[in-house]
Amino acid sequence: MRKLFVVALCLVACSKSAPKNDLTIGGQPKAKVTVLCEAIATKESGPKDTVATFGEVYAFSPTAIAVHRDEPTEITFWNLQSDDEHDFMLLNDRNSVLSQFKLPPLKKTTVVFTFHRDGIYRFVCTMHQPEMAGAITVAPPAM
């Protein structure tokens, strides 16, 4: 009976202190990042040989972002293109989708992310992968 009580007490205490999710969305940001959606090579702007060989090529810039665990970070996406929609899909190290949303043409889209687990989180534009991709590295809080 005593062991059962200790295990139950530990489960209650641990569940309150440990986050259940890798990520929460929203809140007041403590850090900010801007990510651009850029056309590298399109059928309208070329270079024609590149488009003929690889198709249209787009990119996020930057492709690597570093944040601190449990620090709300505002990421603002600027889709610089007038005729191409993009999206942002964020995955954890188990390839579970944590967040996905559209990035409409010539719009800014702002989201506040708080990561609760250290590690590398991949992101992609599902419309233009594998080229339009990157990673967010989550490090322990700053001392």
Instruction: Give the CATH number, domain containing residue 78.
Output: 2.60.40.420
What is the pTM assigned to this prediction? Answer: 0.81
Tell how far CA 111 is from the center of its chain. Answer: 10
What pLDDT is recorded for position 10?
38
Evaluate whether residue 1 is within a structural domain: no
Which residues span the domain enclosing 102?
19-139
pLDDT score of 104 more than 80:
yes
The string of pLDDT tens digits covering residues 33-76 is 999 999 988 888 878 898 889 888 999 999 999 999 999 999 99
Burial of 127 (0-12, 13-18, 19+ CB in 10 A): middle
What pLDDT is recorded for position 18?
40
Number of domains in the chain: 1
